[in-house]
């Protein structure tokens, strides 16, 4: 098993409700634009219309950004992902956290992939848990929405990956490392759950035309593990502590120097992406339907 980096923040942040009011209100406006139901709904508007409607919510002109926003963009562009995560995790002051949220939300709208979405939902969830009342609930709800959006990206953009085990690994990672958030989401009223899923699909449609091949999403699979083993040669692997309740032995496979994930041609991924997008409403509905819902007559479509 690979030694996986923990992307969660090291400590809960103490955040001011007043400072975060703008971030909560922005995503609250997005929530108000979509009407939920007993099942996750596919977008009812075309991608261009959705993008025009969401730009003033997710990426408004003149919004304040971190002083080092250009450097954050450079890290994404040059694929310095570990440095990016370390930088986003290092922010502690409330004003800086809001600026980071602004940057993350804007870059999600501009087509950022799995990693930036993950960092955004993780920060929102921790901030939401640090705040009382409606402010905290608003941030936790937005985190839940971004969890579903990231899951949608895995399903849709994972079709570009030459190694299909890579997006499967990211999906496992997303849900395993965010179990409290998923439990919170599944504990909400059914209409709210399905509404969040519908909004996630609206955002996926609105950003589809600007998203690029996702190097993080398409890494971490069997191809990269094989490359790491080959680079290790005959040297023994370092044994790691087992995860709770696991059996056998766990070993850390070192990163393969210079490994770059591969992508399939458009003629291969495009039809798969269409099928994946069509399947998403039913898949998210099943994910969000609980045993209690089934007992009360809500179908898991």
DSSP alpha helix (H) spans, the chain? 21-32, 47-58, 69-77, 81-90, 94-109, 114-130, 133-157, 165-176, 179-186, 190-207, 222-232, 266-288, 291-295
Please say if the pLDDT value at position 10 is more than 50: no
pLDDT at 282: 97
pLDDT band at 237 (very low <50, low <70, confident <90, very high): low
Residues with Cβ within 8 Å of residue 192, at least 6 apart in sequence: 36, 141
CA atoms within 13 A on the CB side of 290: 15
Can you tell me whether residue 280 is helix, strand or coil?
helix
Can you tell me whether residue 250 is helix, strand or coil?
strand
pLDDT band at 292 (very low <50, low <70, confident <90, very high): confident
Cα–Cα distance between 39 and 198 in angstroms, integer? 8
Please say if the pLDDT value at position 266 is more than 90: yes
Mean pLDDT of 51-63: 94
- Give the range among 1-10, 43-52, 119-128 with minimum mean pLDDT: 1-10
The number of angstroms, rounded, from the C-alpha of 59 to the middle of its chain's C-alpha atoms is 18
Highest-scoring range by mean pLDDT, 22-31, 183-192, 247-256: 183-192
Mean pLDDT of 133-146: 93
Cα–Cα distance between 138 and 124 in angstroms, integer? 9
Please say if the pLDDT value at position 129 is more than 80: yes
122-125: long-range contacts at Cβ-Cβ below 8 A with a sequence spacing of 24 or more? 122/7, 122/8, 122/9, 122/178, 123/9, 123/13, 123/88, 123/97, 125/178, 125/180, 125/181
The number of angstroms, rounded, from the C-alpha of 18 to the middle of its chain's C-alpha atoms is 26
pLDDT tens digits, residue range 72-90? 999 999 999 999 999 999 9
Can you tell me whether residue 8 is helix, strand or coil?
coil
- Give the range among 82-86, 111-115, 153-157, 291-295 with minimum mean pLDDT: 291-295
Q: Who has greater pLDDT, 109 or 259?
A: 109
- Give the range among 192-201, 203-212, 223-232, 270-279 with minimum mean pLDDT: 223-232
pLDDT at 225: 81
Cα–Cα distance between 216 and 170 in angstroms, integer? 9
Summary mean pLDDT of the chain: 83
pLDDT at 230: 74
pLDDT at 252: 55
pLDDT tens digits, residue range 156-181? 999 999 999 999 999 999 999 999 99
Domain parsing of the chain, residue ranges: 21-220+261-295
What is the percent of the chain with per-residue pLDDT over 90, rounded to a whole number? 69
Residues with Cβ within 8 Å of residue 216, at least 6 apart in sequence: 81, 113, 114, 115, 170
pTM for the model: 0.83
Mean pLDDT of 273-288: 97
pLDDT band at 258 (very low <50, low <70, confident <90, very high): confident
Q: Who has greater pLDDT, 214 or 9?
A: 214
Please say if the pLDDT value at position 18 is more than 80: no
Cα–Cα distance between 168 and 120 in angstroms, integer? 21
């Amino acid at each position: 098993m690979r030694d996986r980096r923990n992307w969660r923040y090291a400590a809960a942040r103490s955040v001011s409700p007043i400072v975060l009011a703008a971030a909560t209100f922005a995503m609250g406006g997005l929530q108000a634009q979509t009407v939920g139901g007993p099942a996750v709904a596919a977008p009812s508007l075309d991608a261009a219309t959705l993008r025009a409607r969401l730009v003033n919510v997710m990426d408004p002109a003149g919004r304040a950004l971190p002083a080092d926003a250009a450097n954050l963009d450079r890290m994404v562009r040059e694929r310095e992902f570990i440095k990016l995560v370390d930088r986003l995790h290092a922010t502690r002051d409330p004003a800086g956290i809001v600026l980071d949220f602004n940057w993350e939300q804007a870059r999600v709208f501009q087509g950022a992939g799995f990693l930036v979405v993950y960092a955004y939902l993780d920060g929102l969830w921790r901030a939401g848990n640090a705040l009382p009342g409606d402010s905290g609930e608003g941030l936790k709800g937005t985190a839940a929405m971004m969890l579903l959006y990231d899951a949608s990206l895995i399903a849709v953009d994972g079709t570009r990956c030459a190694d299909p085990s890579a997006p499967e690994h990211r999906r496992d990672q997303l849900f395993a490392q965010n179990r409290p958030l998923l439990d919170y989401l599944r504990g909400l009223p059914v209409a709210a759950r399905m509404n969040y899923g519908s909004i996630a699909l609206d955002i996926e449609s609105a950003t589809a035309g600007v998203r690029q091949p996702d190097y993080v999403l398409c890494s971490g699979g069997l191809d990269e593990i094989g490359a790491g083993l080959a680079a290790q040669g005959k040297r023994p692997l370092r044994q790691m502590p087992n995860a709770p309740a696991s059996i056998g032995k766990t070993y850390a496979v070192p990163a393969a120097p210079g490994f770059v994930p591969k992508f399939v041609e458009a003629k291969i991924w495009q039809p798969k992406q269409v099928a994946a997008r069509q399947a998403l409403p039913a898949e998210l509905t099943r994910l969000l339907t609980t045993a209690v819902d089934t007992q009360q007559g809500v179908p898991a479509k």
